[in-house]
Amino acid sequence: MQKIIIAIDGHSACGKSTLAKALAKELKYVYIDSGAMYRAVTLYAIENDWILDEGKEVDREPLIENLDNINISFNYNSTSGKSDTYLNGINIETEIREMPVARAVSAVSKIKEVREKLVEFQQKLGKNKGIVMDGRDIGTVVFPDAELKLWITANMEVRTARRYKELIEMGSHISVDEVKQNIEARDYEDSHRAESPLKRADDAIDIDNSYLSKEETLHEAVRLVNEKLLSIS
Ligand code: CDP
Ligand code: CDP
């Protein structure tokens, strides 16, 4: 069976990675979480004290000078059954999901040099196809020729409630309002930056999963994949 590239984009906490992971498992494709890469670079900047003004600003020069010292990799975790993110050989899967990283990641991800490095890495990972990648610019910049592009949406209340539940389960002490503010701030920053802003690719197919379960969303995506595979075979 022919292998394709599936690009999944959308705003924060709309269900992209949940769908991308399930779809990759179903198709026996590789799943790549591009957001985890921006989060890893952000953690590196936090560890080096290059994040200023509570996450709004970045001390760009030292970060850009040290980009070659940032090595990101993914390894399968047999306990969780998921792939964990590593920064220079250290498992950072938990830290990158926490609020300090969430607060600063949009400021880091608007830096052109950071994007260039990560996009090159992402394109390398997709060169043999058979990949599902989620993020903000996958269908527009990373894989503009992806055979299937999905644009995932869900309403703000649903997104906030889902992300809040996730953070509380991780042991985070956070309010619903803080979660909502972070989602709104990142949506704004990610959509208004100069470099590869978040936007729907013209040829993307929309899936609104506000009222769909994870299984229903996966079912719809599999249907779209099969339709695509039939049309190009
Ligand atoms: O999980 P959530 O949707 O909240 O975020 P994420 O996918 O982990 O991405 C974290 C941040 O990384 C986003 O808010 C963007 O600032 C940045 N990002 C990006 O700029 N381009 C991508 N392809 C993926 C993420
Ligand atoms: O990757 P993105 O930030 O777009 O969202 P996600 O991490 O896939 O989903 C955010 C949260 O919503 C996760 O805790 C998912 O388990 C949950 N979710 C859900 O409850 N129902 C769905 N249909 C999709 C996601």
What are the tens digits of pLDDT across the range 10-28?
Answer: 999 999 999 999 999 999 9
Give the CATH number of the domain where residue 77 resides. Answer: 3.40.50.300
82, 21 in Cβ contact below 8 A?
yes
Given pLDDT bands bounded at 50, 70 and 90, which one contains residue 55?
very high
Which ligand number lies closest to the CA of residue 190? 1
Average pLDDT value for residue range 202-215: 98
- According to DSSP, the β-strands at 148-153 and 5-10 are parallel
CA distances from 45 to 34, 58, 87, 107 (A): 17, 8, 12, 11
Q: Is the pLDDT of residue 81 over 90?
A: no
Segments forming the whole domain that contains residue 80? 5-232
Give pTM, 2 decimals. 0.97
Residue 34 CA: which ligand is closest? 1
Q: In the prediction, which pLDDT does 107 show?
A: 97
Total number of domains constituting the chain? 1
What are the E-state strand segments in 34-162?
A: 51-52, 57-58, 72-77, 82-87, 90-91, 131-135, 148-153
How high is the ipTM of this complex? 0.98
Which of 9, 16, 18 to mutate to test ligand 2, by most ligand atoms within 8 A of the CB atom? 18
Mean of pLDDT values over 64-77:
96
Residue 215, number of CB atoms within 10 A of its CB: 9
Q: pLDDT tens, 145-176? A: 999 999 999 999 999 999 999 999 999 999 99
